[in-house]
């Protein structure tokens, strides 16, 4: 009797663990309060980010200067130097050389509001 009760408790836990480890798990959802991914997409087009980055839903560059930005929320680091957290990403978008003077990414004059919206869009990419 004890064995069947234990099996009944262990089976759902094992199923939950297997589901969590599956390759089809979704990327984390990161929301930036007050930011708008749709405005972020427009800002990405305005600033010409696709000149260096492949960006899902926007386009592919003619060169391989910057990394592709798909599944952005899954990245551990922004620019390879700061944790992929909203505040760090916004700071990076505003002035990348201030964070990493050796970066190839230039300061594009991105405003604080645009950086927040761009970050919101990047976190939606699959």
Residues 6+ apart with CB under 8 A from 18: none
CATH of domain 27-122: 2.60.40.420
Q: Each residue of 31-66: pLDDT tens digit?
A: 899 999 999 999 999 999 999 999 998 988 877 799
Domain boundaries, the chain: 27-122
Q: What is the mean pLDDT of residues 113-121?
A: 98
Q: What is the pLDDT of residue 10?
A: 44
The C-alpha atoms of residue 6 and residue 3 are separated, in whole angstroms, by 5
Can you give the pTM of this predicted structure?
A: 0.77
Own/partner contacts of 103-107, CB < 8 Å, gap of 24 or more, are 103/79, 104/65, 104/66, 105/52, 105/66, 105/79
- pLDDT over 70 (residue 26): no
């Amino acid at each position: 009797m004890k064995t069947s009760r234990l099996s009944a408790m262990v089976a759902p836990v094992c199923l939950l663990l297997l589901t969590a480890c599956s390759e089809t798990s979704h990327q984390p959802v990161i929301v930036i309060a007050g930011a708008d991914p749709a405005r972020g997409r427009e800002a990405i087009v305005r600033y010409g980010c696709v000149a260096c980055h492949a960006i899902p839903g926007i386009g592919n560059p003619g060169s391989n200067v910057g990394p592709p930005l798909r599944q952005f929320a899954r990245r551990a680091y922004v620019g390879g130097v700061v944790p992929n957290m909203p505040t760090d990403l916004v700071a990076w978008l505003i002035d990348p050389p201030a964070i990493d003077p050796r970066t190839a990414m230039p300061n594009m004059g991105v405003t604080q509001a645009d950086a927040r919206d761009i970050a919101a869009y990047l976190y939606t990419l699959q």
